[in-house]
Amino acid sequence: MAFVERVFSGVQPTGNLHLGNYLGAIVNFVKMQETHDCIYCVVDMHAITQGVDVWGGPAELARNTREVTAAFIASGIDPKKHIVFNQSQVSGHAELAWILNCIARIGWLNRMTQFKEKAGKDRENASVGLYDYPVLMAADILLYRATHVPVGEDQKQHLELSRDIAQKFNNDFGDSIRGHGFNDGLFFPQPEPFITGPATRVMSLRDGTKKMSKSEASDNSRINLTDDANTIAQKIRKAKTDPEPLPSEEKGLQTRPEADNLVGIYAALAGVSKHDVLKDFGGGQFSSFKNALVDVCVAKLSPIADEMKRLVADAGHVDQILIDGANRARAIADETMRSAKNIVGFIRQP
């Protein structure tokens, strides 16, 4: 297969990026820059799929879009070597989503667990956009014919749907695809999810069985990327634990979700394994481990928070990064859309 390896991923600008977003996604985005051409997108069109009361309105959306952009850059994503932009500036996302809407089947979308969770009990009142969200996500990826998609575990099902859509497009239009010079009959690749790192699932600091989430009521349940050192220290000191000392072996963490979570966070931030963490802290009390955890958290996150603050204060600069990224993204997207329109049979200006 002749697809050039390319990374694409997206983060929604829906407020308060936290440690879960950082360790589950952004850290991998940074790493993949070394080996691939990467496109990182602030998916503002996905962000408006729930009620305006949920996403906060126009001023909030713009603020959050700049904040996610700032988080990318402060974490080490290089917007000159790679592409950072916001989705709505490249019209190909919406255009390709329409074509893919006519490929995806209602039965496929009805299986999406994230829709069921987000729509809740009152499904009749959910927006059509929320239902269609996974098709727009497939369009995001396929618009750049991306092959590698670093995501959190919760996005696995959406990635599978993207693969099904790509495959059905290739099948349905096989002859036309070959007729337009793609001799192997493959226009879209099968994008692969990349779910890696020691902390792909960061759990709530108040309940080790629940994912860390921006929607949990208590702010003490999460560490936000913009928290200052004192706030981080307080939240970690208050984090739920159990009365036993830390185990010396990893298998001792199996039935202790809070201990497992804190050890996982330490390992991920320090760039070591859980095994290594337990070699140093196994048998000890949580209090001394928590002090060390505060130190790594502050050492890793404070410089990011400071840089984010600096960037967000200069909205013009951040906007220029997004405009420049969108221009480069559009060049790739336009090429895909030209071929996609030819393949479908849409007449266009040559």
Q: Smallest gap, in angstroms, from Cβ of residue 267 to ligand TRP?
A: 23
Taking the C-alpha atoms of residue 188 and residue 170, their distance in angstroms, rounded to an integer, is: 7
**Residue 211 falls in the annotated catalytic set:** yes
DSSP conformational letter for 87: G
Q: Which of 138/253 has CB closer to ligand TRP?
A: 138
Q: Which of 93/300 has CB closer to ligand TRP?
A: 93
Q: Smallest gap, in angstroms, from Cβ of residue 155 to ligand TRP?
A: 5
Choose which of 61, 84, 149, 311 interacts with ligand TRP (CB under 6 A).
Answer: 149
| Strand, coil or helix: 245 | coil
Taking the C-alpha atoms of residue 82 and residue 211, their distance in angstroms, rounded to an integer, is: 30
Quick one: which of 13, 112, 20, 82 has its CA closest to 301?
20
227 class by beta-carbon count within 10 Å (0-12 exposed, 13-18 middle, 19+ buried): buried
Q: Does 193 bind ligand TRP (CB under 6 A)?
A: no
The one segment of 67-75, 137-145, 180-188, 327-335 that binds ligand TRP by CB under 6 A: 137-145
Q: Does 86 bind ligand TRP (CB under 6 A)?
A: no
Choose which of 17, 42, 99, 137 interacts with ligand TRP (CB under 6 A).
Answer: 137
Quick one: which of 102, 128, 108, 120 has its CA closest to 48?
128
Q: Are 70 and 41 spatial neighbours (Cβ–Cβ below 8 Å)?
A: no
Q: Does 155 bind ligand TRP (CB under 6 A)?
A: yes
Task: Determine the size of the site formed for ligand TRP (CB under 6 A).
Answer: 13
Q: Does 142 bind ligand TRP (CB under 6 A)?
A: no
Report the b/e string of 187-215 with b at 16+ CB within 10 A.
bbbebebbbebbbbebbbbbbbeebbebe
Beta pairing, strands 37-42 & 148-150: unpaired
231 class by beta-carbon count within 10 Å (0-12 exposed, 13-18 middle, 19+ buried): middle
The one segment of 7-15, 117-125, 205-213, 339-347 that binds ligand TRP by CB under 6 A: 7-15
Query: Of residues 31, 168, 214, 240, which has the active-site annotation?
Result: 214
Query: Of residues 118, 168, 240, 341, which has the active-site annotation?
Result: 118
**Residue 118 falls in the annotated catalytic set:** yes
CA-CA-CA-CA torsion for 281, 284, 290, 291, nearest 10 degrees? -90
Q: Smallest gap, in angstroms, from Cβ of residue 1 to ligand TRP?
A: 20
Q: Which of 12/170 has CB closer to ligand TRP?
A: 12
Choose which of 17, 43, 61, 99 interacts with ligand TRP (CB under 6 A).
Answer: 43
Q: Does 77 bind ligand TRP (CB under 6 A)?
A: no
Q: Are 89 and 321 spatial neighbours (Cβ–Cβ below 8 Å)?
A: no
Choose which of 23, 141, 270, 298 interacts with ligand TRP (CB under 6 A).
Answer: 141
- Walk across the sheet containing 83-86 and list its strands: 83-86, 37-42, 6-11, 148-150, 192-194
**Residue 81 falls in the annotated catalytic set:** no
Choose which of 6, 7, 10, 165 interacts with ligand TRP (CB under 6 A).
Answer: 10
Q: Which of 40/182 has CB closer to ligand TRP?
A: 40
| Strand, coil or helix: 84 | strand
Choose which of 6, 8, 142, 308 interacts with ligand TRP (CB under 6 A).
Answer: 8
The one segment of 6-14, 100-108, 210-218, 321-329 that binds ligand TRP by CB under 6 A: 6-14
Taking the C-alpha atoms of residue 187 and residue 149, their distance in angstroms, rounded to an integer, is: 18
Taking the C-alpha atoms of residue 15 and residue 9, their distance in angstroms, rounded to an integer, is: 18
| Close Cβ partners of 288 (under 8 Å, ≥ 6 residues apart) | 281
Q: Which of 8/72 has CB closer to ligand TRP?
A: 8
Q: Does 46 bind ligand TRP (CB under 6 A)?
A: yes
**What is the number of the residue whose Cβ is closest to ligand TRP?**
10
Which residues are at the interface with ligand TRP (CB under 6 A)? 8-10, 12, 43, 46, 137, 140-141, 149, 151, 155, 158
> Which residues are part of the catalytic machinery?
118, 211, 214
